[in-house]
Amino acid sequence: MNRYVLAALMVLLGGAVARAEPLDLSRYRGKVVYLDFWASWCTPCHLSFPWMNDLQQSYGREGLAIVAVDLDRDPHAADGFLAENRGALDIVRDPKGDIARQFNFKDMPTAILIGRDGRIRATHSGFVTSQEGAYQADVVRLLAEKAP
């Protein structure tokens, strides 16, 4: 995947505005994007939120943008959970999976890490608290790169 794909994504998703909230990744150009796919029924997803909030607080100023895509079929299913846990995270709703379909993953949650160059650089399949250090190391590594 390269920046052209990212551009294609934006076009595609712009067209899907009737079904999903638009995911406009152009806002994040030059930043590192942590694109996280989750749902309210997925237990490890719950555990990832406090960690993602910590990450946002620690590295937001350095150019980290976390986008949490909610894949619940009923967009309001996660309201209760989000009321307590959202923090400062950007939430995008994708009830029909139109955004998720553009990526190829099999676990819930899955986080796609997009570098400052707009390319997919890493994928985190699932969320295990004992791996938080490794997840963070990937993010720090991408933040250290300069924007093209």
Partner 1 sequence: MNKLSRIAVLLAAGLCAGCSSLGPKPWEKDLMARPEMQLDPYPLQTAAQEHIYFSKEASSGGRGFAGGGCGCN
Partner 2 sequence: MKKRKAGRIKRALSAFSTTLLVAAACDDSALAQDFYGLDKQGRDNFGPGIAYSEIDSALLIYQESGGRVQAIEPSASLTVHGPVGQQLSLSAVADSVSGATPNGAVPSDQTQTFVTPLRAVGSTTTVTGASGGSTVIQLPPTPGQVATAALGRQYTVAPNTLPVDKGFHDHRAEVSAGWSEPLGPISEAGATLGYSQEEDYRSITLAGRLAKNFNGDNTTVSLDVNGEFDSSFPFGGIPTPLSVMNAQFKPQSSRDKTQVGFVLGLTQVMSRNWLTSLNYAFDSQKGYETDPYRVISLVDPGSGEPISSLYESRPGSRQTQSVYWDNKVMWGPTLTEVSLRYFHDDWGISSETAELSERISLGKAWYIEPNGRLYHQTAANFYAPYLVSGTNLPAYASSDSRLSRFDAVTYGLTLGVHISGRTELYLRGDYYTQMGQHHPANAIGQLRSQNLFQGSNATIIQAGLQWKFH
Question: Which residues in the 55-94 window bind partner 1 by CB under 8 A?
Answer: 71-73
Shortest Å distance, C-beta 53 to partner 2 = 11
Per-residue x/- track, 94-123, partner 1 (CB under 8 A):
---x--xx---xxxxxx-------------
Residue in the structure block whose two tokens are 């009923």: 74
Rule CB under 8 A: say whether 148 interacts with partner 2: no
Rule CB under 8 A: say whether 50 interacts with partner 1: no
Q: Decide if 142 contacts 121 (C-beta within 8 A).
A: yes
Q: Which secondary-structure segment (H or E) carries 21? A: none
Q: At 113, is the secondary structure helix, strand, or coil?
A: strand
Q: Decide if 100 contacts 72 (C-beta within 8 A).
A: no
Rule CB under 8 A: say whether 41 interacts with partner 1: yes
The nearer residue to partner 1, 42 or 142, going by C-beta atoms, is 42
Q: DSSP of 53-64, one letter per residue?
A: HHHHHHHGGGTE
Chain contacts with partner 1 (rule: CB under 8 A): 37, 39, 41-45, 71-73, 97, 100-101, 105-110, 126-128
